[in-house]
Amino acid sequence: MSQFAINLLFVGASFALYIGIAIWARAGSTKDFYVAGGGVHPITNGMATAADWMSAASFISMAGLLASGGYANSTFLMGWTGGYVILAMLLAPYLRKFGKFTVPDFIGDRFYSRAARLVAVICLIVASVTYVIGQMTGAGVAFSRFLEVSNTWGIWIAAFIVFLYAVFGGMKGITYTQVAQYIVLIIAYTIPAVFIAMQLTGNPIPMFGMFSTHTESGVPLLQKLDDVVNALGFRDYTADVDNKLNMVLFTLSLMIGTAGLPHVIIRFFTVPKVADARWSAGWALVFIALLYLTAPAVGSMARLNLMTTVYPEMSGQVENYEEAASNPILYEDRPEWVRTWEETGLITFNDANNDGRIQFYNDGNADFAETAESRGWEGSELTVNNDILVLANPEIANLPGWVIGLIAAGGIAAALSTAAGLLLAISSAISHDLIKTMINPNITEKGEMLAARISMGGAILLATYLGLNPPGFAAQTVALAFGIAGASLFPALMMGIFSKRVNNKGAVAGMLAGLLTTLLYIFTYLGWFFVPETNMLPNTPDNWILGISPLSFGAIGAMFNFAVAYLVSNATEEPPQEIQDLVESVRYPKGAGGAVSH
């Protein structure tokens, strides 16, 4: 069977499964549509949350980020998992107790303000739309690589599949497909990682293999990797970072951004009880960690594999790294997987000094320039796109064709599961917060259901359109979506629960302060609305205030939010008694029913 047929079989089988679930899990009421009926088991919800959370970026890009950045990119690992601790303790159980359908519902009711609800809806839509574009393009890339269809067709197929289970099943259909998608993606991620860990270290568990001895050379794997990259002018893989303030703030921004992302929060509205929301956050992190603990192993091992593919003399015990590093392989002798990926343009080779060999080193390092010159090197000749490391893993490790098929199905599952969660957050904000609460409170249950389905269909069309024509801000998901969620939504939600004193004026002023300072800082360096060339300062570390990057500013924006909300609230009247009673009631689990509309 050809590789194409195998890929088609795996992806087709996974789609048949999702469609089967769509038929089985149709939504009969708005409660089904928004919160899957409210009776999802905490472990099931944990698994669905993990798939909801782990996007195409987690599945495809994270190992590549770690491979290229080493220690410095640990921020993503800690930031995207540490957020669950604050979610479990500061938000999820109380929002579950509140018992309504959406995140703006809580903000609007708690701060008894249409303005607050509207700001929350806008923040939710901007953050979620930015995020969903990346999922659509990610699905398009996976389709075009593995199923030989064009990117455009790939995106349309992805949209059609999501349409089937999201429009008919709502949260109910999404929950059970996410469980299936989690299983597909985690198997796809783990199998090649286990084989690679076995090959390099003899240890079948990647997270342990990463810290054990590299079989071929007899030195610890990470030390070996440091030696190898160092000999080619790269920073040590495990090198510490100088700007600790920025690293701390970046990690914190990712954590509060994770906790404040509406598509993650609404997953916790689907469990029966407050206690279940707490357990469920723990299970979600367990399922996420299965991938996140494997990713650094995949990153480091793939980097070592890549370097020793180019410099075979460096793979075993090396007496003299200088010498081993001066003998890269001939371009003709490159392995098959390099040839395959060259065809996609994600690996490119340009023989700068015409010697027929592949020089791959850090040509941006001034201290290494002399060494490179003495070897007759005229610039690094190989460029490798970070994203291919996970996708190419099975080929690098010489695994059978069905593993490649599995990776294809896994990458698509990761993109679809996150896209569906985001689309539900967007459509419920429109049908529930805008139409039902703000425009037409007298709408019937049936009418709201129809509005929810139409909003979902519209959101899918919008996401498809933006996936096909990605705007400039699509690449700034981390800055924009996490910045908004962390600086605007997270503080408002937290203060709504932990303070009885913060009132409508304080909350609105705080959310706007957090949102606007963060956007201002991001736009200053990345351009107004991300239009190229409109940035007021170059986006380089010397221009950042105190060395704080635009990606790390969400945490500072959140501080502005807290400070302004506190000051404005204390200068104005106390919230009315019924609001203070509402805060009391969300704090105590007693008396939580299922999620209700009103």
Partner 1 sequence: MAEDKSNAEAYWKANVRLITGCLIVWAFVSYGCAILFRPLLAGIPVGGTDLGFWFAQQGSILTFICLIFFYAWKMNKLDEKFGLGE
- Residues at the site binding partner 1, with contacts judged by CB under 8 A: 66, 71, 74, 77-78, 81-82, 84-86, 88-90, 93, 207, 210-212, 219-224, 226, 238, 240, 244, 247-248, 251-252, 273-275, 278-279, 281-282, 285-286, 289, 292-293, 296, 498, 584, 587-592
Residue among 274 and 479 whose Cβ is closer to partner 1: 274
For the chain, give the number of residues: 598
In this structure, are residues 555 and 256 in contact, taking their beta carbons and an 8 Å threshold? yes
Q: Comparing C-alpha atoms, which of 199, 164, 463, 157 is closest to residue 309?
A: 199
Output the smallest distance, CB 314 to partner 1, in A.
16
Looking from the CA of 228 toward its CB, the CA atoms found within 13 Å total: 30
Residue among 257 and 296 whose Cβ is closer to partner 1: 296
Output the smallest distance, CB 530 to partner 1, in A.
29
Residue among 60 and 295 whose Cβ is closer to partner 1: 295
Residue among 465 and 498 whose Cβ is closer to partner 1: 498
Tell me the C-alpha distance between 15 and 94, whole Å.
Answer: 36
Residue among 83 and 169 whose Cβ is closer to partner 1: 83
In this structure, are residues 133 and 419 in contact, taking their beta carbons and an 8 Å threshold? no
Residue among 114 and 587 whose Cβ is closer to partner 1: 587
CA 386 to chain centre: 16
Burial class (CB in 10 A: 0-12, 13-18, 19+), 573: exposed
Output the smallest distance, CB 190 to partner 1, in A.
16
Output the smallest distance, CB 438 to partner 1, in A.
31
> Which residues face 146 on adjacent strands?
none
For residue 527, the one-letter residue type is: G
DSSP state of 384: E
End-to-end CA distance of the chain: 56
DSSP state of 332: G
Alpha-helix runs per DSSP H in 54-150: 56, 62-69, 74-86, 92-98, 103-110, 114-147
CA distances from 37 to 27, 271, 282, 405 (A): 8, 9, 22, 35
Residue among 236 and 313 whose Cβ is closer to partner 1: 236
Residue among 152 and 230 whose Cβ is closer to partner 1: 230
> Which residues face 348 on adjacent strands?
383
452-481 as b/e, with b when 16 or more CB fall inside 10 Å? bbebbeebbebbbebbbeeeebbbbbbbbb
Residue among 17 and 289 whose Cβ is closer to partner 1: 289
Output the smallest distance, CB 211 to partner 1, in A.
3
DSSP state of 213: B
Output the smallest distance, CB 399 to partner 1, in A.
25
Q: Which residue has the tokens 């790939």?
A: 154
Output the smallest distance, CB 552 to partner 1, in A.
12
Output the smallest distance, CB 341 to partner 1, in A.
26
Output the smallest distance, CB 466 to partner 1, in A.
32
